[in-house]
Amino acid sequence: MLAPMQGLSNRELRSLFIDWVRPDVVFSEFIRVAGGKRRTLRPALLQDVAPHQGGVPLVAQLIGRQSELLAEAARALQDAGVRHINLNLGCPFGRTTSSAIGGELLRQPQQIPPLLDALRRVVTGSLSVKLRAGYDRPQQLFALLPLLEAAGVDFLILHPRTVIQHYRGSADHNITTEAVQRTSLPIIANGDITTAVQGRQLLSTSKAAGLMLGRGALADPLLFSRLRDQAPAVPTHEELKKILGQLLGELLPRYRKRYCGQAQVLAKLRSLLPYLQAASGERILDQMKSAKTLDAFETQLRCLEKS
């Protein structure tokens, strides 16, 4: 599965991954569901979550804390063609000025069953949950498993860090292994999966039902193919540099078509660079990061492709 990555996994990025490596499932960025005057989902958002060509299932991820509004959003998404809904219980930045959402709800687990019950009543396709191992204690997960089973969710995506860890430290997949043993729900392993060898070993030892790839997939889009033995398990530096140049080069015209103005296109491209730089170490990416115009960015991209 291609992970939901806020600000990154937009329709164009998902479509490119489908064209290149065809993930089994792709996730939308989270859709914030809140009160206020504007309760209907915007046309641009519904366009972003329209089913992709090629038949790869799309899961729309919701984040919020009001049962009736989550159910209303799920109905609207299903009317627009979305068949699969996910509730975000893992975002480590999930607090608004007045309420807890995302991972913050793990501090108030009694609020979770009404949300899932409301969604389960209206969702006709799969209903899943993406969550952290706990708010500040990784063992909290095991108290949550019966609650999630009783709510009738179809599968879980587990990122085995706590909410307060954010992305510090390492994902503890010993927790993933124990969770698989403790529940009948299929569990998708997520977090720090960056190589094919690591991914295969995790599937073998944890008996997880599958893998969700996020930052590792941005750093190496062919990680999906490597896990399927359709590409070399370990990329060379030159191969990785070529892939990253191709990723940016193919996203550029897609973003030009989708987004309004050079500044927005440039911002979207630059938001990917920290993940690509971690993989390649190319100094040219530093120069792309500091590019002030799209023309300057394209000049550096051509340098990367030729180097």
Alpha carbons 146 and 182: distance in angstroms, whole number: 9
> Residue 97 — pLDDT band, cuts 50, 70, 90?
very low
pLDDT-based confidence at residue 142 (cuts at 50, 70, 90): very high
How many domains does the structure of the chain reveal? 2
* Domain assignment of residue 270, yes or no: yes
Contact 92, 62 (CB under 8 A): no
Among 194, 227, 260, identify where a domain stops: 227
Last residue of a domain, one of 171, 194, 227: 227
185 and 94 within one domain: yes
Q: Identify any residues that bridge with 210 across adjacent strands, giving them in sequence order.
A: 188
Q: Greater confidence, 279 or 72? A: 72
Decide if 59 contacts 86 (C-beta within 8 A).
yes
Residue 161 and residue 69 share a domain: yes
**Inside any domain, residue 156:** yes
Half-sphere exposure of 262 (CA within 13 A, CB side): 8
Shared domain check, 201 and 241? no
Same domain, 70 and 209: yes
Percent of the chain with pLDDT over 90: 76
Residue 141 and residue 61 in one domain: yes
252 shares a domain with 154: no
CATH label of the domain that carries residue 67: 3.20.20.70
* 79, HSE (Cβ side, Cα atoms, 13 Å): 10
User: Is there a domain that residue 202 lies in?
Assistant: yes
Domain-located, residue 4: no
276 and 167 assigned to the same domain: no
Mark whether 114 and 159 lie in a shared domain: yes
In a domain, residue 232? The reply is no
The reply to whether 222 and 82 lie within a common domain is yes
In a domain, 149, yes or no: yes
- Model-wide pTM > 0.85: yes
Answer with the one of 193, 227, 261 that is the final residue of a domain: 227
- Over residues 12-35, the mean pLDDT reads 94
Q: Is 83 inside a domain boundary?
A: yes
CA max distance for the chain = 56
Residues 299 and 156 placed together within one structural domain of the fold = no
Asked if 269 and 123 sit in the same domain, the reply is: no
By residue range, what is the domain housing residue 298? 237-306
- 94 pLDDT band, cuts 50/70/90, is low
Residues 184 and 223 in one domain: yes
Ranked by mean pLDDT, the top range of 93-107, 206-220, 240-254 is: 206-220
Q: How many residues does the chain have?
A: 307
